[in-house]
Structure 1
Amino acid sequence: MEPTSPGELWAAVHAERARLAEDLAGLDDAQWAEPSLCERWTVEDVVAHLTAAASTGRVRWLRSVLGARFDFDRHNQRRLEEHRGATPAETLRRFRAVAGSTVAPSKDTAAWLGEVVVHGQDVRRPLGLPRTPPTEAVTAVARFFAGRDFAVPSRSAAAGLRLVATDGPFASGSGPLVSGTTLALTMALAGRAAYCDDLTGEGVPILRSRCSPA
């Protein structure tokens, strides 16, 4: 069942963090240093970023953004460095420690589910890790992304396109068709051009042109 209430969404967040931590447990140091789909970040950087996101409430987030003079790249890099361990094993331990956290900069719980869904695939795909999040959880993220520009300009990416999932109930918009799995659509809306390769339809070139380096 697709999570919709705050409690259901947080349960999905916690489950996805736990699954990701499990997938990462067997990595060697070289894999931790692999580039992620967030082109400027390694796998370890992405995990540290997720730890920061689960550790930063609204007041602390605002202070950090103000301290970075609204440079969100600088803000994210500072928080990432704060939560990265001295070794990959320590970075993973820190991530595991916040897996059940409900701390977040805002009450947009679907966005924080999107955070772990998208960044989870940012590291799984380059590493060839096969696990994908449940379609029900990803559907909640897809609906949020199609309806709102938040951490990523996803609504803008979807504008003027008809998005249709082939593995679930998600469908949105009107215009040239883009179809594929709910996960592929969600990742493309998050700007991950690699996932456009998994989509079909006359609208794919348009969506691809709206993807940018993460």
Structure 2
Amino acid sequence: MPDDGELAEYNPYDLMESEAARLEFYFSTLTGDAWDEPSACEGWSVKDVLAHLAGSEEYNRACLTDSVGAMFERYTSRGATDVNSFNELGVSDRRDQRPADLLDEWRRENGETRAEMRHRDGEQMPTSVGQYPVRWQAWHLASELATHADDVNVPVTHKREEDARRDWRVRFARFALAESKPEVEVQILAGGTWVRADGNEATLTDDDLIDAVNARLPADHKLKPELREKLASLG
């Protein structure tokens, strides 16, 4: 069981709210060809990322209604075999929808998810990995929203916001590593985070650790491929 003490300073439900608000405002400003611009998600446009967010709410709703198994059965019957193919089906199902309709769907469904999870704080909820703390799931969803906001270049309006986002995201990156890759050694340093796994080690800045854990490091980053693969825990 990972130690979530480093996360105690933040409320994940508030983080979900702020990241959702950033995305909603940004999407509401887009018109025309802006929706077809490529995102940082390989093969996906900005519109595809919004479709993915809307599709992901099917999973969130299944968790909240204890119907994860039934949802997976529907998707596997259509050819989904892993997370990537599951996500691709969610996007392809919505590819012909207008951006405005996608935004309405995601805004409505995500708003219900945020409200219900906040209401259930302190409880457990069914997920794809079994019963899981609602609060930790809220952290995962806040992180996903933040990552996809970066994927579509949602602007950060001021340095205080940038610093606050970096702080909570690097804390959660270390938590996610401890949770899914406990074999990775992690030590917080004054200038970043030291990591070691399978004989490879590196000291990463906060931004680089966030990118590494979310599988968003640029291809030309100097981190050894073996360590890059080991650190990729989210995204």
TM over 0.5, yes or no?
A: yes
Matches within 5 A, 1:1-214: 3-4=7-8, 8-55=11-58, 56-58=61-63, 59-69=66-76, 71-72=81-82, 73-82=84-93, 86-100=97-111, 101-102=113-114, 105=127, 107=134, 108-124=137-153, 129-131=154-156, 134-149=165-180, 155=181, 159=184, 166=191, 171=193, 173-174=195-196, 176-180=201-205, 182-194=206-218, 197=221, 204-206=223-225, 207-208=227-228
Confirm or deny: 8 A CA contact 1:110 1:140 kept in the other structure: no
Q: Give, as a single letter, the amino acid of the residue that structure 1 aligns with 2:99.
A: P
| 1:130 shift after superposition | 3.2
Shift in CA distance, 140/163, structure 1 to aligned 2, threshold 3 Å: closer
Q: CA deviation at 1:139?
A: 2.9
Structure 2: distance between partners of 1:96 and 1:65:
23
Alignment RMSD (CA, Å): 3.5
SS in 1 for 2:203: strand
Please identify, of 52-61 and 185-194, the stretch whose mean Cα deviation from structure 2 is larger. 52-61
CA distance in 1, matches of 2:96, 2:188: 40
Question: Which structure has more RCO (C-alpha within 8 Å, separation ≥ 6)?
Answer: 2
Preserved CA contact (<8 Å) 1:185 1:195: no
Show structure 2 runs of 5+ residues with no match.
1-5, 118-126, 157-161
Cα offset, 1:48, TM superposition: 2.0
Give the aligned residue type for 2:8. Answer: T
Q: CA deviation at 1:14?
A: 1.6
Q: Which residue of 2 aligns with 1:152?
A: none
How many residue pairs get aligned? The number is 192
Residue aligning to 2:123: none
Does the C-alpha gap of structure 1 residues 137 and 209 become closer, same or farther in structure 2, counting only changes over 3 Å? closer
Residues 26 and 84 (structure 1 numbering): CA distance in 2 closer, same or farther, change over 3 Å?
same
State the distance in 2 between where 1:74 and 1:8 align.
32
More strand by share: 2
Mapped contact 1:161–1:177 kept (Cα < 8 A): no
TM-score by length of 2: 0.64
Q: CA deviation at 1:162?
A: 6.0
Q: What is the alpha-carbon distance in structure 2 between the residues aligned to residue 148 and residue 193 of structure 1? A: 20
**Shift, 1:19, TM fit:** 0.8
Structure 1: distance between partners of 2:8 and 2:168:
9
Aligned-residue offset at 1:12:
0.6
Residue 16 of structure 1: CA displacement? 0.5
Shift of 1:121: 1.4
